[in-house]
Structure 1
Amino acid sequence: MIYRSDTDVLRRLPAWVPDDARHYLAHTEGGEAIRKLARLAGCHASTVLRQVRRIETLRDDPLVDGALTRLGKLQVQASETGRNKEFVTMKEPQRDEMTPDAAMLAREARRVLRRLCESGAVLAVAAEMDKAVVVRDTGDGGSTRTAVVEAPIAQAMALKGWIACESPGRISRYRITAAGRTALSKLLAEQENKLRGFAEAQAGFGTSAEAEAAMEAADSDPLARRRHLMAESPLILLSRRRDRNGTPFLSDELVRAGERLREDFELAQMGPRLVQNWDMFLTADAEPANRSDRPRGPEAARARFISALRELGPGLGDVALQCCCYLEGLEATERRMGWAARSGKVVLRIALQRLRRFYEETNAQGGGLIG
Structure 2
Amino acid sequence: MENNMAFTIPAWVPEGAQRYLAHTETGQSIRDIARSAGCHASTILRQIRRIEMRRDDPLVDAALQSLAEEHFSVNDASDRTVSAFSHNSHVEKEEFNHEALRVLRRLCETGSVLAVAEEMNKAVVVRDTGEAAATRTAVVDSRIAQALALKDWISCDNPGRISRYRITSAGRTALSQLMADFENQARSRNEHGMAEAPSSFHGAPSHATTNRAHPERPRRMRYSAAESPLIALARRRDRDGKPFLDEALVGAGERLREDFELAQIGPQVAQNWDHFLTAGGRGSFGSGDTGNRGSSEARDRVERALSDLGPGLSDVALRCCCYLEGLELAEKRMGWSARSGKIVLRIALQRLKRHYQDQEERSRMIG
Range class of TM-score, shorter chain? 0.7 to 0.9
* C-alpha deviation, 1:321, in angstroms: 3.1
What residue is the counterpart of 2:205 in the other structure? Answer: none
Tell me if 1:117 matches 2:108. yes
CA change 1:189–1:43 in 2 (3 A) is same
* C-alpha deviation, 1:116, in angstroms: 0.2
- Asked if structure 2 preserves the Cα contact closer than 8 Å seen for 1:115 and 1:146, the reply is yes
Query: Highest Rg: 1 or 2?
Result: 1
Given the alignment, which residue of 63, 67, 71 partners 1:71?
A: 67
CA change 1:140–1:153 in 2 (3 A) is same
1:1-371 residue pairs with structure 2 within 5 A?
Answer: 1-5=1-5, 7=6, 9-10=7-8, 13-77=9-73, 80-81=74-75, 94-98=80-84, 101-140=92-131, 142-198=133-189, 200-202=192-194, 225=220, 229-242=224-237, 247-266=242-261, 278-279=274-275, 296=293, 304-330=301-327, 333-334=330-331, 337=334, 339=336, 342-361=339-358
Higher helix share: 1
* C-alpha deviation, 1:184, in angstroms: 1.7
CA change 1:176–1:65 in 2 (3 A) is same
Q: Indicate the SS of the match to 1:145.
A: strand
Whole-Å separation in 2 of the counterparts to 1:257 and 1:221: 37
Whole-Å separation in 1 of the counterparts to 2:300 and 2:187: 25
CA change 1:38–1:231 in 2 (3 A) is same
Instruction: Decide which moves more: 324-333 or 229-238.
Output: 324-333
- Asked if structure 2 preserves the Cα contact closer than 8 Å seen for 1:222 and 1:328, the reply is no
- Asked if structure 1 preserves the Cα contact closer than 8 Å seen for 2:125 and 2:136, the reply is yes
Q: Indicate the SS of the match to 2:2.
A: coil
Whole-Å separation in 1 of the counterparts to 2:62 and 2:218: 35
What residue is the counterpart of 1:289 in the other structure? Answer: none
* C-alpha deviation, 1:146, in angstroms: 1.2
Whole-Å separation in 2 of the counterparts to 1:185 and 1:352: 29
Counterpart AA for 2:23: H
CA change 1:195–1:51 in 2 (3 A) is same
- Asked if structure 1 preserves the Cα contact closer than 8 Å seen for 2:221 and 2:326, the reply is no
Deviations 1:75-102 (A, max 9, x none): 441xx25xxxxx6xxx668553446843
CA change 1:300–1:97 in 2 (3 A) is farther
Counterpart AA for 1:96: V
* C-alpha deviation, 1:122, in angstroms: 1.1
Q: Indicate the SS of the match to 2:114.
A: strand
Normalised to the residue count of structure 2, the TM-score between the two structures is 0.73
CA change 1:336–1:139 in 2 (3 A) is farther
- Asked if structure 2 preserves the Cα contact closer than 8 Å seen for 1:29 and 1:75, the reply is no
Normalised to the residue count of structure 1, the TM-score between the two structures is 0.73
Unaligned runs of 5+ residues in structure 2 are 87-91, 198-207, 265-271, 279-289
CA change 1:191–1:335 in 2 (3 A) is closer
Paired-residue identity, %: 57
What residue is the counterpart of 2:204 in the other structure? Answer: none
